[in-house]
Amino acid sequence: MEPPNCRSRPALSRVSASDVLNKETAMKASEIRAMTEDQLSDELAKLKKEQFNLRFQKASGQLENTMRVRQIRRDIARIQTIAAEKSAATIKA
């Protein structure tokens, strides 16, 4: 008996990017907006440290979840954007 070829196998092994993101959820803008400026800076520092560690894992070939790099980068950008909005609102008021 021959092993089944690729076409006869079910497509259960395919994982979409949204499935990966749902397992390790990205921060939502509403969650970030609820944070104070101190909490934002703490969270930003934590994410930058994780990004640094992920870069080392990638360089040494130990990174398993490559989608996490993208997710962290976007979370950092999201926090920086909302922090800038809050500081602009403070200056304007």
Q: Considering its fold, how many domains does the chain have in total?
A: 1
In a domain, 39, yes or no: yes
Determine, yes or no, domain membership for 20: no
C-alpha distances (whole Å) from 27 to each of 11, 13, 41, 85, 93 are 30, 27, 15, 17, 27
pTM, full prediction:
0.72
Q: For residue range 50-88, what is the model confidence (pLDDT) as tens digits?
A: 999 999 999 999 999 999 999 999 999 999 999 999 999
Domain that includes residue 84, residue range: 31-92
What CATH number has the domain bearing residue 38?
1.10.287.310
φ/ψ of residue 28, rounded to 5: -90, 150
Which pLDDT tens digit goes with each residue over 5-56? 656 555 545 555 555 445 567 889 999 999 999 999 999 999 999 999 999 9
What is the Cα–Cα distance from 16 to 5, expressed in whole angstroms?
Answer: 22
Tell me whether residue 24 is in a domain.
no
